């Protein structure tokens, strides 16, 4: 991915800031370590010390921080996950501190504890790596006077203010490989195979992996589908002697007139809904209505783990270094971003509480239709 910028790779002078904190919030994804490495090495070049905050905002709440050295970030570029740990349940404004007599959780605003941790470790600025939830909290710290730079992260690719997030391309590669592999067994047994991918309310992973794998049907949250259209495609392929049908479905997809399938709720999480199970429902209905043997596979967390693809290592390095460029310029309260092929930045509040969804006239949807893929909305 070619990205250009008007900024130099390093400012001619280094800022007054001499100690920064860095954390990774929300779910893990490939490329987090690439960002950590880029921020740290860029900072070390200017003599800036970096404090690693463990397990996202939980590290600030519980005062779990450690000074990072060159050896800590050496060799981590190719490693998935995050050396700092992460957490997708900690909200500084609503932190669980116990359970009441009625069995319900007790929450407390612990922002003061976070600010005390920042002061105790001499942290003069924060680099927060995460999704919409992480940046909602980061924007709050910025309003409280803490200099913050955000770096957008999610496999779902749904953060407002940037065209792409690191982690997405690795997740697409994992999902595409799985779709390629199920096609061989589907061909062998003349089956319809339904593969469920992640994405929450955004269909980016399903769209890209579905197109890359040549899936016959792609179902995304933004376009409710008719089961009749899906079954008709499976029947038509069987009549034409096609040995299999591959359906790539996003976990947030739903039948026309229906609701998203909820696997469970985690009430202590800022985002309590856990989607999942649409693939099973879909496979059962396809088999019942077409007579074509159908199976389903739910990829789940395999999409969030593993080694980042080269594109995510490059993107993570670009975004991490750009975060330090903004910090040196004193341009805080911002989130680094990609606009087209340009490095950019937006107000830290831009992604807060929002999701960037797939437009129904996205060029990739139009291209997929042109090569015969259906989305079940016909």
Across the strands, what pairs with 19? 49
Distance between CA atoms of residues 356 and 164, nearest Å: 10
132 vs 241: CA distance, rounded Å? 46
pLDDT digits (tens, 9 = 90+) for 112-138: 999 999 999 999 999 999 998 899 999
Which residues touch 87 (CB under 8 Å, ≥6 apart)? 25, 55, 56, 57, 58
Is the per-residue pLDDT at 9 higher than 70? no
Between helix 310-328 and helix 32-45 the angle, nearest 10°, is 40
The predicted-structure confidence for 202-261, as pLDDT tens digits, reads as follows 999 999 999 999 999 999 999 999 999 999 999 999 899 888 899 999 999 999 998 888
pLDDT above 60 for 11: no
Inform me whether the pLDDT recorded for 10 exceeds 50: no
Establish whether domains 19-166+308-347 and 168-301+359-370 are of one fold: yes
Cβ(118)–Cβ(146) below 8 Å? yes
Q: What is the pLDDT of residues 53-68, one digit of tens each?
A: 999 999 999 999 999 9
CATH code of the region 168-301+359-370? 3.40.50.460
Q: What would the pLDDT profile of 75-118 be if each residue is shown by its tens digit?
A: 999 999 999 999 888 889 988 888 889 888 888 999 999 999 99
| Per-residue pLDDT tens digits for 307-363 | 999 999 999 999 999 999 999 999 999 999 999 989 999 999 998 888 999 999 999
How confident is the model at residue 269, as a pLDDT? 66
Of 123, 119, 152, 121, the residue nearest 135 (C-alpha): 152
CA–CA distance, 57 with 129 (Å, rounded to integer):
11
The sheet that has 245-250: what strands, in order across it? Answer: 217-219, 245-250, 192-197, 294-298
CA atoms in the 13 A half-sphere facing the CB of 179: 31
Residues belonging to the active site: 156
pLDDT digits (tens, 9 = 90+) for 322-338: 999 999 999 999 999 99
Residues 6+ apart with CB under 8 A from 276: 196, 251, 261, 262, 263, 298, 300
What is the tens place of the pLDDT at every residue in 172-186? 999 999 999 999 998
User: Does the structural domain 19-166+308-347 have CATH classification 3.90.550.10?
Assistant: no
What are the residue boundaries of the structural domains of the chain, listed by start? 19-166+308-347, 168-301+359-370
Q: Give residue-wise pLDDT tens across range 284-309.
A: 999 999 999 999 999 988 999 899 99
Q: What is the dihedral of CA 202, 208, 211, 212, to 10 degrees?
A: -150
Mean pLDDT of 27-31: 91
pLDDT at 263: 75
Average pLDDT of every residue of the chain: 91
Helix ranges restricted to H, 265-309 = 278-290
């Amino acid at each position: 991915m070619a990205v250009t910028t008007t900024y130099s790779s390093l400012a001619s002078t280094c800022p007054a800031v001499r100690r920064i904190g860095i954390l990774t919030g929300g779910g893990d994804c490939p490329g987090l370590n690439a960002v950590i490495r880029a921020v740290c090495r860029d900072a070390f070049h200017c003599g800036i010390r970096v404090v690693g905050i463990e397990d996202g905002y939980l590290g600030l709440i519980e005062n779990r921080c450690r000074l990072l050295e060159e050896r800590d970030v050496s060799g981590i570029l190719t490693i998935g996950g995050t050396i700092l740990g992460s957490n997708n349940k900690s909200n500084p404004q609503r932190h669980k501190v116990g359970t009441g007599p009625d069995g319900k959780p007790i929450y407390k605003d612990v922002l003061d504890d976070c600010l005390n941790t920042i002061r105790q470790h001499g942290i003069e600025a924060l680099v927060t790596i995460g999704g919409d939830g992480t940046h909602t909290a980061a924007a709050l710290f910025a309003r409280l006077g803490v200099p913050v730079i955000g770096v957008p992260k999610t496999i779902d690719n749904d953060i407002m203010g940037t065209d792409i997030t690191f982690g997405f391309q690795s997740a697409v590669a994992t999902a595409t490989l799985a779709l390629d592999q199920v096609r061989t067994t589907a061909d062998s047994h003349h089956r319809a195979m339904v593969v469920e991918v992640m994405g929450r309310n955004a269909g980016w992973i399903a769209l890209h992996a579905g197109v890359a794998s040549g899936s016959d049907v792609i179902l995304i949250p933004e376009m409710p589908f008719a089961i009749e259209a899906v079954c008709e495609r499976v029947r038509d392929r069987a009549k034409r002697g096609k040995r299999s049908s591959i359906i790539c479905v996003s976990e947030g997809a739903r039948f026309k007139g229906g609701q998203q399938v909820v696997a469970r709720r985690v009430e202590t999480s800022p985002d309590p809904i856990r989607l999942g199970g649409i693939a099973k429902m879909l496979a059962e209905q396809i088999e019942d209505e077409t007579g074509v043997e159908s199976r389903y596979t739910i990829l789940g967390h395999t999409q969030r783990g593993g080694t980042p693809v080269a594109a995510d290592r490059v993107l993570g390095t670009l975004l991490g270094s750009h975060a330090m460029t903004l910090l040196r310029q004193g341009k805080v309260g911002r989130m680094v971003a990609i606009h087209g092929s340009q490095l950019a930045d937006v107000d830290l509040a831009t992604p807060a509480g929002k999701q960037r969804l797939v437009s129904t006239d996205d060029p990739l949807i139009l291209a997929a239709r042109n090569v015969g893929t259906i989305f079940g909305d016909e």
